Amino acid sequence: KDALALRENIASDTTAYRLIYGESDFLPGLVTDKYGRFVVLKTYSSSLSTILDDVVWALKTELNLKGILLRKSETLEALWGELPPEELTISENGLKFIANLYKGQKTGLFLDQRENRQTVRRLAKDKTVLNLFSYNGGFSVYALAGGASYVKAVDIAEAANLDANKNVVLNNFEPSKHEAITADVFDILSMFVQQRESFDIVILDPPTLAKDKQNRMAAIRAYRKLNMLAMRVVKKGGLLFSASCTSQVSEAEFKDMLKEAALKRKLKAQIIHHAGHALDHPVPLSFKEARYLKFIGLRIL
């Protein structure tokens, strides 16, 4: 009930959000996300099997649901109720997205970036936008909702780009204002640098680059290389939003990396925004490891 009470503050025009965030909600090993009238559970501890029935009972008692589901790799098991359609439409801050609860990243969508997408929306009017590691086009749709003049989205997965285009159309935006490119981000950035193509806003949201401490320094080097390239395609006075979901890299290390990248490029940069997860991903004072997401907005001069 404590976990549900926090989520009551989420806007009424949002139907997809995190209900239970493991240790952050004092239920270690359990992640529970709500998509409309379906709830998806992911477990990270075999010991949770002893309380799973109690969790299902609590959820179906407290919420008006159609189904409670357990996600295992790319399979979905109905613990109670019915299975969802393969393409389930949800709302986020009044915008619509297709969620695939069977095969989508995490439990279906990246819910942790919701409020950061809203930040981009507020700043996108009449701007050209480059959305890198764009997945299903979340940032693209928000940028168009904010009045962006044109968005290029780059992801190495063709299926993700097809989903991005679907989400653009689903929200009644002009398809010609959105170009989804299937390519390696390093390669496409190098090409844009050579062609001297630049953008008012660049969003850099790569997948996690290190899953253990041994790979932390390699991750920082990769982030530095990515951000140095990205800074070169931001127009003077434009914005770079750089994200990291790598828990092994701290916020201080991430900011230091950005400072080094700007210095190496001989650019001046101002931090205009720094944030983490949306409020449905709380962080206990005693478990700082739960704060994995860094989202820094830079003005490049």
Q: Where in the sequence numbering do the catalytic residues fall?
A: 245
Q: Measured on CA atoms in the order 97, 99, 105, 109, is the torsion positive or negative?
A: positive
On the CB side of 148, CA atoms within 13 Å amount to 32
DSSP 282: -
Instruction: Report the side by side order of strands in the sheet with 128-132.
Output: 178-182, 150-155, 128-132, 199-204, 234-244, 294-300, 269-275
Contacts of 115 (CB under 8 A, 6+ apart): 275, 278, 279
Residue 62: both structure tokens together? 């407290």
**Sheet strand arrangement including 38-43:** 16-21, 30-35, 38-43, 67-72, 75-81
Going by the DSSP 8-state scheme, the letter that residue 44 receives in this structure is S
Q: DSSP assignment of 117-180, as one string?
A: HHHHHHH-TT-EEEEES-TTTHHHHHHHHTT-SEEEEEES-HHHHHHHHHHHHHTT--GGGEEE
Q: Give the C-alpha separation, 10 to 181, whole Å.
A: 33
15: its two tokens: 């139907």
